[in-house]
């Protein structure tokens, strides 16, 4: 594997980690915006919406560059220069390495969300309230979705890796 291919794979993995980290941060922003709206603090509401839009724009740009323009990043930062050897000895294709990274990311999401989800379900049943009346129902649904996404990432990693490599 060439040095440039190694850096392309690494940058794509970092882009995927960034996006899956955004799955946790963005709902927290929405909750803050909702809280500001409920308290009728419209100055904070407008400020939080504008900051959220900026954050989403930055996440989108970084994702776009990391996943689809990784060669451009390597050229601009000159990451492939200064190595003694032109090749790194790995006996795997880039597609396989990306799929392994997707499995690891999905596994981390799954393992991180399962205990939180079970805790929230346990507290929900202790309170004996309806789902719509339970104050943590949004977070319970969010962690359920994270568990499903983590599972789907682990089971469909080769399809996602093929999609990422196809967009090259």
39 C-beta neighbours (distance < 10 Å), count: 10
Give CA 157 to chain center in angstroms.
14
**Residue 35: predicted pLDDT:** 83
Helix ranges restricted to H, the chain: 3-38, 42-68, 70-77, 94-127, 137-155, 157-166
> pLDDT for 69-86, tens place per residue?
989 998 988 888 766 777
Task: Indicate whether 168 pLDDT > 60.
Answer: no
Task: Indicate whether 155 pLDDT > 80.
Answer: yes
Quickly tell me which residue has 């050229």 as its tokens. Answer: 75
Task: Indicate whether 59 pLDDT > 70.
Answer: yes
Q: Which two three-digit tokens encode residue 55?
A: 């954050």
- DSSP class of residue 63 equals H
> pLDDT confidence of 61, banded at 50, 70, 90?
very high
Distances (CA, A) of 11 to 65, 70, 77, 87: 9, 6, 12, 18
> pLDDT for 80-131, tens place per residue?
876 677 776 666 666 778 888 888 888 888 888 888 888 888 888 777 777 6
d(CA 15, CA 98) in angstroms, rounded, equals 11
Share of the chain above pLDDT 70, in %: 92
């Amino acid at each position: 594997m060439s040095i440039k291919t190694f850096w392309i794979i690494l940058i794509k993995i970092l882009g995927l980690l960034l996006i899956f980290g955004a799955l946790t941060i963005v709902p927290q922003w929405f909750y803050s915006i909702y809280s500001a709206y409920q308290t009728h603090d419209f100055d904070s509401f407008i400020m939080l919406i504008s900051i959220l839009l900026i954050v989403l724009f930055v996440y989108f740009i970084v994702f776009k560059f990391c996943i689809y323009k990784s060669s451009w990043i390597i050229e601009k930062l000159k990451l492939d220069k200064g190595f003694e050897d032109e090749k790194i000895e790995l006996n795997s294709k880039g597609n396989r390495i990306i799929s392994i990274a997707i499995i690891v990311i999905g596994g981390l999401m799954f393992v991180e969300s399962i205990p939180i989800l079970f805790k929230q379900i346990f507290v929900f049943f202790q309170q004996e309230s309806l789902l719509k009346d339970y104050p943590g129902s949004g977070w319970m649904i969010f962690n359920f979705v994270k568990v499903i996404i983590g599972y789907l990432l682990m089971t469909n990693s080769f399809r996602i890796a093929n999609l990422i490599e196809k967009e090259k």
